[in-house]
Amino acid sequence: MKKIKSVVLFYNSERRKALDYAAAIERRLKLGGAKVLRICVNDACADLKTADAAVAVGGDGTVLYAARHVIKRGMPVLGINAGGLGFLSGIEQKEFLKSAGLFLAGGFRKIKRSLLSVSVTRGRKTIFGPLPALNDCVIRSPEARAFTLRASFGCQFLSEYFGDGLIISTPSGSTAYSLAASGPIVMPELEVFLLSPICPHTLTHRPIVLSAKEELKVSVLGGRPGPQAMSLAIDGQENFPLEPGDFVAVRRHPRSFEMLAPAGFSYFDILRRKLSWGER
């Protein structure tokens, strides 16, 4: 990786820790000779200028925000945890301050993560998207009532789901909402979709792993009884209201998200540290 001379710094102004961390990290980056452009994730995002890399200081939500906004620019992103879980972060703040020189010298490695491309069709017209999602897209109702969704994979009918909704996630998102819905943990390098039903009204519907080479399409058939409000959420941050008859199309995004991490970064170590995976 080439030397880093310019950085876009994403931060969450609503977290005091993130503000303090961002200020310290900005000083360290400038001390190393880098130009820094600050972007607050709580404000409307202006058109980004191309930089050598982006740094997201906050929790997983800050990394998700940064990922969706830099994908067109092809900038790699380093997540620095200043939140709770910080599962998408590549490094902790104290470790970064010690290794900032190596980061600016291009010594961190790139890890590619697949993205979803999500759109909504009503009639024959695309009315939403396509938008990228690093973790997942979720179809559900804000009301405590079940509704029916019909899913197809490629040219094949998959199943009808009657319940509280569906989670369609990437391997990166397998440790997020999908995991809470009893979905499997999937290595991020795999090219797959995870389809996890939310509280299905049957004992036979379980999460399924699908190839990302085909399009997954979900049609909204409505609720029982009567119509109700339904919505599509992208990474828990972008929301769109759905109506009966709408089609949600999910494909693999043509670009990959590039995550930056130190040379010794291990996904399995993150599982053990963040989720206590495998502990007795």
Active-site residue set:
60
Report the distance separating Cα 276 and Cα 280, nearest Å: 9
Report the distance separating Cα 195 and Cα 137, nearest Å: 10
Spatial CB neighbours of 137, under 8 Å, sequence gap ≥ 6: 116, 118, 167, 168, 169, 232, 233, 234, 235, 248, 250
Spatial CB neighbours of 90, under 8 Å, sequence gap ≥ 6: 78, 79, 80, 108, 111, 259, 260, 261, 262, 265
Report the distance separating Cα 261 and Cα 85, nearest Å: 17
> What's the token pair of residue 57?
């200081």
> What's the token pair of residue 255?
């670009």
Read off the amino acid at residue 206: R
Report the distance separating Cα 87 and Cα 261, nearest Å: 13
In whole angstroms, how far apart are CA 174 and each of 77, 107, 194, 209? 20, 28, 7, 10
Inter-residue contact 76 to 111 (CB < 8 Å) = no
What does the angle CA 75 – CA 169 – CA 117 come to, to the nearest 5 degrees? 55
